[in-house]
Amino acid sequence: FLFLISLSALNMGLLNSLKKFNPPAFSPVFMNIGIIATILSSYWFFSLDIYVLSYAVLFGALLQYIFQVPFILKNNLGYTFDFKKSINSKTSLILKVIFPQVFGLAIYNLNILINTQFASFLDKGSITYLYLAERLIEFPLGIFAVSIATISLPDFANLYMDKKFEKFTSLINEKMKFLFYLTIPFATFFVITGESICNVLYARGEFNNLDAYLTYQALLAYSFGLVFVAGVRLLTQAFYAMKNTKTPVSFAAINLLINLILCYVLGFYFNLGFFGLALASSISSLFLFLFLFVGLRNIFKELQTYNLILFFLIILFISIISITFSSWLVSMISPISGNLISLVLTIIFSAIVFLIISKLLKIKELKMIFN
């Protein structure tokens, strides 16, 4: 699995470098198809046991790699291994920057790991609540934050190498606003309707309504940091485009320490339990976002501050209005609160109202979605 997933990641990097973003973005779908198909086939025709899951992941990784191969060949890409030729000055440069980049990009996951370790000392179920809530947070992060950060890196790098610093900062401002426009509604939706989401997705079998509510508490705390985690992904790429790995890694190390302290203070000293741990992750993400933003602002004075804050507040206000109104409207239509139909209707109505208000306010990020 590690071999296949590593080759797939290499293929993604090669295609992204040529600005061929659709195949790499779509290829994980085939991994999911492989996993689901293997599990269903085993359930219908064989016996479903725990080992099937490992085979399913392996088959999914194989499908993902096979899907990428035609695009690699079409673009005259490929890879061979020659040990003598592979060890050179460029290899040393890659090794020099890759480890700081991995650490910087993995900071969010490291904070989640720290939270999990602290949660192991709390009441039974705390780890599960944090895990299930974090899975929901990963949905918008995976779709928007990772994808936008990925496609932005080549543009950032080209502009910086060409010394077009004004366009470089303008692109950061543009991408940051677009990220706000996409992630703030999700964070707001999780806060307002998160309890219904957790009930629909998780409340069944041994996992009762109380468990779903406690999962919502973790989701609520994580939601406050969603936008900042997404922002960190983007700002980190801007530093990497400048070949500056030292600054984000230094900030990430400080952020880990902040998260450790906050986990103890909020989770144990103030006795907030797993909610405090999730909140610690969100607050530390805010600190890291501010560290990175101020770091860039010190280099590029053209980087907007007031306009970004104003845009943040506008999108937050639109999101609250859209989701609150839609939730009220659905409650009038459907008396059964928290069921799947009500949740789907709330999502649809919220999206429609949000887009209408965006159109009326002439928010240009709306056009970027359809483009």
- The candidate with the shortest Cα–Cα distance to 218, out of 130, 294, 154, 295, is 130
Shared domain check, 181 and 37? no
**Predicted local confidence at residue 200, as pLDDT:** 94
198, part of any domain: yes
- What whole-number distance in Å separates Cα of residue 266 and Cα of residue 276? 5
Say how many C-beta atoms besides its own lie within 10 A of residue 368's C-beta: 14
**Predicted local confidence at residue 202, as pLDDT:** 94
Give Cα 22 to chain centroid, integer Å: 18
93, part of any domain: no
87, part of any domain: no
**Predicted local confidence at residue 21, as pLDDT:** 83
Let me know if 153 is exposed, middle or buried by CB neighbors in 10 A (0-12, 13-18, 19+): middle
86, part of any domain: no
Helix ranges (H only) for the chain are 2-17, 22-45, 50-74, 83-86, 89-105, 107-119, 126-140, 146-161, 165-202, 209-241, 246-264, 273-299, 306-333, 340-360, 365-370
Q: Strand, helix or coil at 204?
A: strand
- What whole-number distance in Å separates Cα of residue 348 and Cα of residue 356? 12
| Region of residue 363 (phi > 0: left; psi between -120 and 50: alpha; otherwise: beta) | beta
Q: Of 45, 79, 113, at which residue does a domain stop?
A: 79
226, part of any domain: yes
Q: Of 79, 107, 141, at which residue does a domain stop?
A: 79
- What whole-number distance in Å separates Cα of residue 126 and Cα of residue 149? 32
Shared domain check, 258 and 331? yes
- Taking only the tens of pLDDT, the chain with its 371 residues reads 999 999 999 999 889 888 888 888 889 899 999 999 998 888 777 766 778 888 899 999 999 999 999 999 998 887 776 766 667 777 777 777 777 777 766 777 788 889 999 999 999 999 999 999 999 999 999 889 988 998 898 899 999 999 999 999 999 999 999 999 999 999 999 999 999 999 999 998 889 999 999 999 999 999 999 999 999 999 999 999 998 988 998 999 999 999 999 999 999 999 999 999 999 999 999 999 999 999 999 999 889 899 999 999 999 999 999 999 999 999 887 665 558 889 999 999 999 999 999 999 999 999 888 77
Q: Of 79, 110, 134, at which residue does a domain stop?
A: 79
Q: Structural domain tally of the chain?
A: 2
Shared domain check, 219 and 269? yes
Shared domain check, 165 and 23? no
Shared domain check, 108 and 71? no
Shared domain check, 108 and 27? no
The b/e string for 13-25 (b: 16+ C-beta within 10 A; e otherwise) is ebbbeeebeebbb
Shared domain check, 328 and 206? yes
135, part of any domain: yes
**Predicted local confidence at residue 337, as pLDDT:** 53
84, part of any domain: no
Shared domain check, 147 and 17? no
14, part of any domain: yes
Shared domain check, 61 and 143? no
Whole-structure pTM value? 0.87
| Domain assignment of residue 366, given as a range | 99-370
Shared domain check, 116 and 37? no
Shared domain check, 343 and 296? yes
**Predicted local confidence at residue 101, as pLDDT:** 72
**Predicted local confidence at residue 109, as pLDDT:** 78
- The candidate with the shortest Cα–Cα distance to 149, out of 234, 229, 230, 232, is 234
